[in-house]
């Protein structure tokens, strides 16, 4: 199982990736299968190995689709909460699932690996937050300049 192809696992050692791989489940999906639904409690990290998954939200509509190498739901490993969107297989998919319960065992058994994975999750979440805030900040600056 090649976890190194996923950005969240790039900085882990080969040994740490092997420890994680032992607890990861492989799931096969057919087109139209629902991977998870919006508002369901997130139960773990989903890694898309093959295929395409469509993301959709009741608030925002269709959000687009993602392909191999995508990680979904990483925050659910460290924070309990509802999924923000639904994910549906557009084609046959091969998925790897790291459940929150498995991650918690990793925290107890190999805290260094768990900490490094948590740091990667926090780094990715912060990058998404910054990206989302950029238009808001730009808009606020534009408004303040127009008041001058």
The domain locations on the chain are 3-146
Q: Cα separation of 141 and 148, whole Å? A: 11
3-23 average pLDDT score: 86
93-100 average pLDDT score: 94
Token duo for residue 10 = 């790039």
124-138 average pLDDT score: 72
> Is the pLDDT assigned to residue 146 strictly greater than 70?
no
> Is the pLDDT assigned to residue 93 strictly greater than 90?
yes
Looking at residue 43, its pLDDT comes to: 86
Architecture in CATH for domain 3-146: Sandwich (2.60)
> 78-83: long-range contacts (C-beta < 8 A, 24 or more apart)?
78/103, 78/118, 78/121, 80/41, 80/42, 81/41, 81/42, 82/38, 82/39, 82/40, 82/41, 82/42, 83/36, 83/37, 83/38, 83/39, 83/40, 83/41, 83/42
> Is the pLDDT assigned to residue 26 strictly greater than 90?
yes
> Is the pLDDT assigned to residue 138 strictly greater than 70?
no
Looking at residue 54, its pLDDT comes to: 94
Q: What's the pLDDT tens digit per position in 27-80?
A: 999 999 999 999 998 889 999 999 999 999 888 878 889 999 999 988 888 888
* Least trusted range by pLDDT, from 27-31, 110-114, 134-138: 134-138
pTM of the model as a whole: 0.81
């Amino acid at each position: 199982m090649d976890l190194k192809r996923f950005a969240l696992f790039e900085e882990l050692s080969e040994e740490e990736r092997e420890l994680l791989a032992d607890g990861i489940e492989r799931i096969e999906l057919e087109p139209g299968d629902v991977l998870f639904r919006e508002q369901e409690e997130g139960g773990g990290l989903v890694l898309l190995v093959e295929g395409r998954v469509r993301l959709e939200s009741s608030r925002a509509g269709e959000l687009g689709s993602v392909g191999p190498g995508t990680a979904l739901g990483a925050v659910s490993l460290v924070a309990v909460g509802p999924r923000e969107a639904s994910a549906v297989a557009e084609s046959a998919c091969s998925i790897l699932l790291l459940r929150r319960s498995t991650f918690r065992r990793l925290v107890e058994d190999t805290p260094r690996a768990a900490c490094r994975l948590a740091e990667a999750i926090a780094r990715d979440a912060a990058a998404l937050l910054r990206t989302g805030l950029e238009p808001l900040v730009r808009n606020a600056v534009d408004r303040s300049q127009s008041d001058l």
